[in-house]
Every structure is written in structure tokens, then in C-alpha cells.
Amino acid sequence: MATAAPTPDQAGPKKKKGKKGLVMILAALILAGAGVGGGIFIASSGLIGGAKAEVPKGKDLPKLLPKGSKPAKEEGEGGSHEGGSASADGPKYESSYFQIEKDFTSNLKDSVHLIQVGLAVSTPYDEKVIDHLKAHELAVRSAVLMTLADTDEEQVFTSDGKKDLQRRLVKAINDVLKEKEGFGGVGNVYFTNFIVQ
């Protein structure tokens, strides 16, 4: 027995189904490619993904000062740098110090007590960081006062609490400098005065 050959009407739908499937696959690939490309563009532009803030062009960034790169100050001369040569166990970089002139006075968080602190900062970078601190003193003072006002009373009476306050002050100062200059650079904060009343 011979089977009948398919008529042109029966062969047509199979070809159309094949073409529809191919078109759908191509459309899906194009959409997927556009999605990936768009995602990469958005991530690289900094809209998502935590891309680093771009430092404005033309800014001369502070440079690290290797230990021994500055002459040591003679005795009796007030200095703002640690001089001398690098030792095997010591730090690799010079430290420049800057004492903020006025003390800071603030209420403590949820407390009737006041805190008054004097601050100095250190940086392993050149004088540009200290120049930035001086140029943005008002914004830095505001950030320090806000950090002090967000400090619990119990925290200022313990050594660990004071160390945590130091870390938060470094972050607050660096955040201001990054916002204003595109670079932080403060390595540590030192208390030159610390009173709770």
C-alpha cells in the first residue's frame, strides 16, 4: 500500500511553525543581549553596583610620604612630622599632624551630660590633606559635632568606647574631605582634651 504524499496545505504549517520558533529564539537572544548590555552600561556609569566615585580631572591628589623623605626637625623646634629613617618594624610612611584649634562641645545622645574634646589628626600623605582640612574647617567641625552628639554616655567612659569614637570621627572627617575634595587621607584622630560633664 502506498501512502499518499502530503498536500501543499499540510506541508505549510510545519514550515511556518519552524520559522516562528526560529524568530522567537532570535528575539529572545536579542532581548537578552540588550539586557546584559544595558546592565553593564548602568553598572559602569555608577547608577548601581557601588562604582567608585570619580575624582574630578585636574585634581592633584595627595601623595604618600615614605619614611625618611622629610628631614628630621632639630630638637627644641616644634614639628608636625615624625622624622628619621624607616626601621624594619616601624611604619613605612611619615606622619603629619594637625591640631584643630578650637575644642568641640556637644550634648551626648539621650543624656544631660556634655562632652568637650580637643582633636588632632594625622595623615601619611603630604600637606594637601591638611590644606583640605583647613579649607573645609566649618564642614569638618559640623561633622565632628554631629558624631559627638550621636555618642552614648556609656561609650565615653570606657577605653573601647573612646576608640570606637575615634574611628567614627576619622570616618566623619574623611567623608567630608571626600565629598569636598574627592579624597580623604586622615589616618587617625587623637584626643588632646577629653572632658565629660
Tell me the pLDDT tens digit for each residue of 23-72.
778 777 777 666 766 666 565 555 554 444 444 444 678 888 777 766 55
pLDDT at 75: 40
Picking from 117, 168, 118, 160, the residue whose alpha carbon sits closest to that of residue 143 is: 168
Beta-strand relationship, 104-107 and 114-123: antiparallel
- Encoded amino acid at 27, one letter: A
Compute how many other C-beta atoms are within 10 angstroms of the C-beta atom of residue 186. 24
pLDDT at 51: 41
CATH topology of domain 96-196: Tetrahydropterin Synthase; Chain A (3.30.479)
pLDDT at 15: 57
Q: Mean pLDDT throughout 112-132?
A: 94
Query: What is the pLDDT confidence band of residue 117, given thresholds at 50, 70 and 90?
Result: very high
Dig out the grid coordinates for 54 from the structure: 570619580
Query: What is the pLDDT confidence band of residue 20, given thresholds at 50, 70 and 90?
Result: confident
Q: Mean pLDDT throughout 124-133?
A: 93
Query: What is the pLDDT confidence band of residue 13, given thresholds at 50, 70 and 90?
Result: low
Please tell me the distance from the alpha carbon of residue 36 to that of residue 32, in angstroms, as a whole number: 6
